[in-house]
Amino acid sequence: MTLDRAMTQLRVAEASWQNALKQHRTAPPDAGYPRRLRELADACEQQQIAYDYAATQGLGWKPLPPAKRPAPHELSPESGRPGPPETWQEFDQAIEDLSRAFEGISVAAIARAFGELSRIARALSAAVADHGSEQARGRRPA
């Protein structure tokens, strides 16, 4: 029963993750950017929980072949992404770390990588939302 639960949790988390990535791939340039980052953070957290649970149930992981697994364009350095550059550098590193975790055999390492990506995406969401609020206040007539 717990193995079935772990597999179901992983499938649900994967669907959430894929949907969050799709939102960034197809996003128009709009004020929904902080929300999409928050949804990405939530999807990463869901993945972390699912992989943590899978690890406790003894599930194995078949490593993926080495490959470049870039973030969607909206999240890439070339997109002109708003927010603190140092936090975006952490984000880029976390994407690389997740890719390396997928190439290994440790389910727990994948969970940790998703956890770190969740933390950073949540911080970026807050920073981008704050930045947008500051810009809006700055444009108001005195």
User: Per-residue pLDDT averaged across 64-88, rounded?
Assistant: 92
- Average pLDDT in the chain: 90
Instruction: Using a pLDDT cut of 70, give the percent of the chain over it.
Output: 91
Q: What per-residue confidence (pLDDT) applies to 90?
A: 98
Structure-model confidence comparison of residues 12 and 30, the more confident one: 12
7, 8, 45: which is closest to 125 by C-alpha? Answer: 45
Q: What per-residue confidence (pLDDT) applies to 142?
A: 37
Sequence-ordered list of residues with C-beta below 8 angstroms from that of 58, at least 6 positions apart, any chain: none
> CA-CA distance, 79 to 95, in Å (whole number)?
16
Q: What per-residue confidence (pLDDT) applies to 135?
A: 55
What are the DSSP calls for 8-54, one per residue?
HHHHHHHHHHHHHHHHHHS--SSTTHHHHHHHHHHHHHHHHHHHHHH
Q: What per-residue confidence (pLDDT) applies to 136?
A: 43
> CA-CA distance, 39 to 102, in Å (whole number)?
21
Q: What per-residue confidence (pLDDT) applies to 131?
A: 77
The CA radius of gyration of the chain, in Å to the nearest whole number, is 17
The one-letter amino acid code at 87 reads T
Tell me the per-residue pLDDT of 26-75, one tens digit each, with 9 for 90 and over.
887 678 999 999 999 999 999 999 999 999 999 989 999 999 888 999 99
Structure-token pair, residue 12: 């649900």
